[in-house]
Amino acid sequence: MLVYFGPANAIARAAWSDVIGAERLLFLPVEELGAESRLGDDPHWSATGHARVAEHLLGLIADANWLPGLGLAPAPRAIADAREIFERGRQQAATPLRDPDWDAVFSTEIRPASMTGSMAQQVYGGLEADGLVSPYLSLILRDAPSADLRITGRALPHGVLAGTAVRVSADGTTLGRFVLTPGARIDERFPLPAERGELIHVELEADDFVYTDDKLRKCLSWRLERIAVER
């Protein structure tokens, strides 16, 4: 399994080693994919980034002789680079984050209008850059003492979404629901479970959506302005 969560690689290794097996995790070094390998301010890989990763994986597969029937023959440099890169990534991921690093890697809030690269890493899926939310949104927030979960945004204007309920969960525990009124403001606050870790997995699930494009590929339920763990 190839992993690239930047500075959070150490967290992924700690969470997944017992489940997947440390020997089956491959980590790209934090600094491996720079600005030229990304889509501008979007941390996702560009064509250049994908080509670089593919070259590293080709070198690794050939070096380990995992697919002998394909007759892969990468340049010797590619094999040497793959060995060095994945070993460097393994060493980085094996170094636990120091406590002060939590502030740099994970935020207590996400604001789509001012999304940063590190903030985007906290979103697993379901949120667009303009704040539009799919029927299922999954993200991570850093905890804060004596805090609630606050969600602000606006319901979409589509009348068919009237009465749509959005279930809010934290670490698998349902905190409550809010109901959408077309075009209306959303400002909801939910108490968090008393026992929780430093990172909180938040899920928001809407029971209805609308298609917003002719090809029926984009389904949306509401718009998020801010979600935060706050006092």
Q: Which of 107, 117, 57 is nearest to 82 (CA)?
A: 57
22 — alpha (psi -120 to 50), left (phi > 0) or beta?
A: alpha
Phi-psi region of 146 (alpha: psi -120 to 50; beta: other; left: phi over 0): left
Task: Specify the amino acid at residue 118.
Answer: S
Task: Look at phi and psi of residue 126 and say left if phi exceeds 0, alpha if psi is from -120 to 50, else beta.
Answer: left
What's the alpha-carbon Rg for the chain, to the nearest Å?
21
What is residue 121's predicted lDDT score, i.e. its pLDDT?
Answer: 77
> Can you give the pLDDT at residue 60?
93
Work out the burial of residue 200: count CB atoms within 10 Å of its CB; fewer than 13 is exposed, 13-18 middle, 19 or more buried: buried
- Give pLDDT tens digits along the chain (231 positions): 999 887 778 878 887 888 888 889 999 988 877 788 888 777 788 899 899 899 999 999 999 889 989 888 888 899 999 999 999 999 999 887 665 555 566 889 999 998 877 678 789 899 998 999 999 999 999 998 888 999 999 999 999 999 999 999 999 999 999 999 999 999 999 999 988 888 899 999 999 999 987 877 789 999 999 999 998
pLDDT, residue 207, reads 97
Domains of the chain plus CATH, in order, are: 2-101 (no CATH), 106-230 (2.60.120.260)
Q: Is the pTM of this model over 0.85?
A: no
Do 27 and 9 touch, CB atoms closer than 8 A? yes
The pLDDT value recorded for residue 17 is 85
Q: What is the pLDDT of residue 102?
A: 54
